[in-house]
């Protein structure tokens, strides 16, 4: 398995935790040792594991939270960091999202998530370019 494959698998796990509202899986996915950052749409930046996980607990425990669908984009490979960029569809909203992963304890762990509204429409979010960018 390549680094890109590992990060993409962790990205799928993130969206599975999100869509299934699995707090334990979400907790396990975020890095413990590396600094973390999360920016939800319209929120200020959340820095640090405690603040980030507190936000996810609130989101995942909200029965009114809409379903999310992620159309996997592309991994951007940097030294020690892989960013995965793609589109989220939440209710009627189209968002662009970036998730950052590093290896911690031999597992790809999430250190960064940012999603924001995309103001231009795309014809088919499933047709985004594939493959790693180096």
Nearest to 91 by CA among 115, 75, 67, 113: 67
pTM: 0.86
Tell me if 22 is assigned to some domain: yes
Tell me if 69 is assigned to some domain: yes
Helices (H) and strands (E) in the chain, counts: 3, 6
Strand pairing partners for 83? 76, 100
Tell me if 54 is assigned to some domain: yes
Number of domains composing the chain? 1
Tell me if 129 is assigned to some domain: no
Q: Which two tokens stand for residue 87?
A: 């589109």
pLDDT of the residue at 73:
78
List the domain range (segments joined by +) for residue 31: 3-120
Q: What is the pLDDT averaged over residues 29-57?
A: 97
In this predicted model, what pLDDT tens digit does every residue of 56-88 receive, in sequence order?
999 999 988 878 888 867 898 988 999 999 999
Q: Which CATH number fits the domain that encloses residue 112?
A: 3.10.450.50
Cβ(17)–Cβ(29) below 8 Å? yes
In this predicted model, what pLDDT tens digit does every residue of 80-89 receive, in sequence order?
999 999 999 8
């Amino acid at each position: 398995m390549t680094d890109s494959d590992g990060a993409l698998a962790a990205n799928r796990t993130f969206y599975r935790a999100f869509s299934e509202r699995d707090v334990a899986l979400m907790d396990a996915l975020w890095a413990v040792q590396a600094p973390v950052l999360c920016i939800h749409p319209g929120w200020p930046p959340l820095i640090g594991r405690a603040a980030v996980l507190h936000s996810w607990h609130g989101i995942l425990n909200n029965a009114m939270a809409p379903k999310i669908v992620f159309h996997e984009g592309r991994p951007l490979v940097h030294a020690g960091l892989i960013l995965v960029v793609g589109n989220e569809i939440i209710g009627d909203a189209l968002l662009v999202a970036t998730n950052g992963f590093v290896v911690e304890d031999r597992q790809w762990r999430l250190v960064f998530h940012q999603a924001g509204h995309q103001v231009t429409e795309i014809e088919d979010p499933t047709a985004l370019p594939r493959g790693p960018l180096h």
